Amino acid sequence: MKGHSAAALGALLVGVVHPVAANGVVQWDIRRSQRSQEFTKLRRRGSTFNEVISNDEARGGYFATCQIGTPGQNLTLQLDTGSSDIWVPDSKASVCRKFGNSGGCNLGAFDSAQSSSFEVVGKGEFDISYVDGSSSKGDYFTDVFSIGGATLQNMTMGLGLETDISYGLVGVGYAVNEAIVGSSQSVSSAYPNLPVNMVNEGLINTVAYSLWLNDLDASSGSILFGGIDTKKYKGDLTRIQIYPATQDIFTSFKVALTSLEAISPSGQDTLTSTAFPIAVVLDSGTTLSYLPTDLAMQIWKEAGAEYSAHYGTAIIPCSMQNSQGYFSFGFAGPGGPRINVTMDELVLDVSTDGGPQFTSGQYKGETICEFGIQNISSSPYLLGDTFLRSAYVVYDLVNNEVGIAQTDFNSTESNVVAFASMSATIPSATVAPSQAEVTNRPTVTVPAYAASKGFTDLSASGTAASTSAEQNAATPTPSRASTGQMLVVSLTMLLTAVGSGLFVAIL
């Protein structure tokens, strides 16, 4: 599922890769795309987005630059844990045609005729669709794929000959979720996708990687294949189970969200939902987070956000970026990991120059920001980037576990530990003690909203700050964006996208 935005402009910071000098791991730096200037175009209706057909569409998310072919062609691709194929737009695809200053594939398109190692392996077999109707179709091919000093000689990828998406993706999900498996209806058609191929080529020891998205204001993070970096999180990593789609088949990173608390200088509330325990998909390809409506409404009330029927989204004054409140997400039952998400990670600018204002009500005259937690009426519920930035998450696709801990924002230190061997469990992680009890349904009650006053009372800043989780964060350090190792590429952006967690193969 994917949103659209016309007439949106933004800039994308594209990172180069800093290879990590350690055996058994491969690291890429990833950079966040800036959000759109226009969000009035985005209208959610029920569980689909209305269509605004435009060549200017693009999703938010995290991007990395790689080289494909011989000689290598540079392409900047979106990293996505919610899908499982690498695919690139073909340079002759109509979406890559430029109309004056608009259109075109600014992040790069692949010209297969210029690659001596290009080989088609599945003519017409690549076919992937989003819930909103956008898609990419074409051939499967093999070619050389390099990133971060790591080269795969024979990587299977999709070539988007017919697509309405102007940049490609690197899907790092389960191989069984590849588009070819959906279209052929046969698990045996699965090919070794990127993380599996890295294992086959001896670059990493097991099918696992760690994702550190970093602070909303930092624009850069990293993905580390084959290992963890113990300096990028606080406390201990806790291992929790991934839910299978059916019996033993795992297709997405779905875990059990079992509690949610709102905490502020004025108090603390336990929020409830008839949906607990909630199966939530951890999806880096989704910009916002989507929870059941009853829970989302409690969150909005605590935070001072409100649902706007006009925009079709929950909104909040931008000044709430300074709120001292935070939400504590609990996983895998009592004693399981908890991730605190502060308000500055949840209040998202929709414009870089002023932007729309509230025209009535208690916030009249204040600038509108979009709220990072939205509602959705049915599963799949999603924890996207607005949640994931606050967490360090290790995805272990062999043991079907996720390791999770509170992130250490802006950490510049590094201590990389590789997984010891194929099917080794996540290094230095303890297992959540009461995972077996996650089927318990907590009592549904109406919260007292004791925390609410502290969320919206911005004058409390400073004194209350010392109790907030964020104060434990690392001292601010210059962002990596200032090291000069980046390109600034102009790009049309979209505001919000429910991403490729909902990437579905056409059946």
Ligand X SMILES: *[C@@H]1O[C@H](CO)[C@@H](O)[C@H](O)[C@H]1NC(C)=O
What's the min distance (Å) between Cβ of 247 and ligand X?
Answer: 26
> What token pair was written down for 56?
């200017």
**434 makes contact with ligand X (CB under 6 A):** no
**48 makes contact with ligand X (CB under 6 A):** no
Residue 172, exposed/middle/buried by CB under 10 A (0-12, 13-18, 19+)? buried
**458 makes contact with ligand X (CB under 6 A):** no
**156 makes contact with ligand X (CB under 6 A):** yes
**154 makes contact with ligand X (CB under 6 A):** yes
- State phi, psi for 319 to the nearest 5 degrees: -60, -20
Residue 15 near residue 486, CB atoms below 8 Å: yes
Catalytic residue check, 90:
no
Radius of gyration of the chain (CA): 22
Out of 62, 409, 419, 503, point to the residue binding ligand X (CB under 6 A).
409
Stretch that binds ligand X, among 124-132, 387-395, 402-410, 497-505 (CB under 6 A): 402-410
Residue 267, exposed/middle/buried by CB under 10 A (0-12, 13-18, 19+)? middle
Query: Alpha-carbon distance 427 to 421, whole Å?
Result: 11
- Coil, helix or strand at residue 333: coil
Specify the residue, 376 or 438, whose C-beta has the smaller distance to ligand X.
Answer: 376
Residue 99, exposed/middle/buried by CB under 10 A (0-12, 13-18, 19+)? exposed
What's the min distance (Å) between Cβ of 246 and ligand X?
Answer: 26
Query: Alpha-carbon distance 240 to 456, whole Å?
Result: 34
**Which residues in the 69-108 window bind ligand X by CB under 6 A?**
74
**Which residues in the 190-209 window bind ligand X by CB under 6 A?**
191-192
Residue 435: count of CB within 10 angstroms of its CB: 20
Specify the residue, 137 or 338, whose C-beta has the smaller distance to ligand X.
Answer: 338
Out of 5, 406, 435, 492, point to the residue binding ligand X (CB under 6 A).
406
**338 makes contact with ligand X (CB under 6 A):** yes
Catalytic residue check, 215:
no
Stretch that binds ligand X, among 89-97, 213-221, 349-357, 430-438 (CB under 6 A): 213-221
Query: Alpha-carbon distance 442 to 214, whole Å?
Result: 32
> What token pair was written down for 10?
């933004």
**Which residues in the 3-22 window bind ligand X by CB under 6 A?**
16
x/- mask, ligand X, residues 263-302, rule CB under 6 A, reads x-----------------------------x---x-----
Specify the residue, 14 or 256, whose C-beta has the smaller distance to ligand X.
Answer: 14
Query: Alpha-carbon distance 435 to 235, whole Å?
Result: 19
Stretch that binds ligand X, among 18-26, 79-87, 370-378, 382-390 (CB under 6 A): 370-378
Closest by CA to 214, choosing from 412, 22, 18, is 412
CA dist 176 to 5, 184, 186, 285, 421, Å? 32, 11, 9, 18, 22
Which of 283, 385, 396, 408 is an active site residue?
283
Specify the residue, 125 or 217, whose C-beta has the smaller distance to ligand X.
Answer: 217
Number of alpha carbons in the 13 Å side-chain half-sphere of residue 393? 29
Out of 134, 166, 230, 340, point to the residue binding ligand X (CB under 6 A).
340
What's the min distance (Å) between Cβ of 410 and ligand X?
Answer: 4
Peptide bond into 380 cis (omega under 30): yes
Query: Alpha-carbon distance 485 to 93, whole Å?
Result: 30
Residue 193, exposed/middle/buried by CB under 10 A (0-12, 13-18, 19+)? buried
- Coil, helix or strand at residue 413: coil
**184 makes contact with ligand X (CB under 6 A):** no
Specify the residue, 154 or 399, whose C-beta has the smaller distance to ligand X.
Answer: 154
Which of 29, 80, 85, 139 is an active site residue?
80
Out of 18, 43, 234, 453, point to the residue binding ligand X (CB under 6 A).
234
Which residues contribute to the site for ligand X (CB under 6 A)? 16, 44, 74, 121, 142, 154, 156, 191-192, 215, 217-218, 234-235, 263, 293, 297, 307, 328, 338, 340, 375-377, 406, 409-410, 469, 472-473, 476, 479
The catalytic residues are: 80, 283
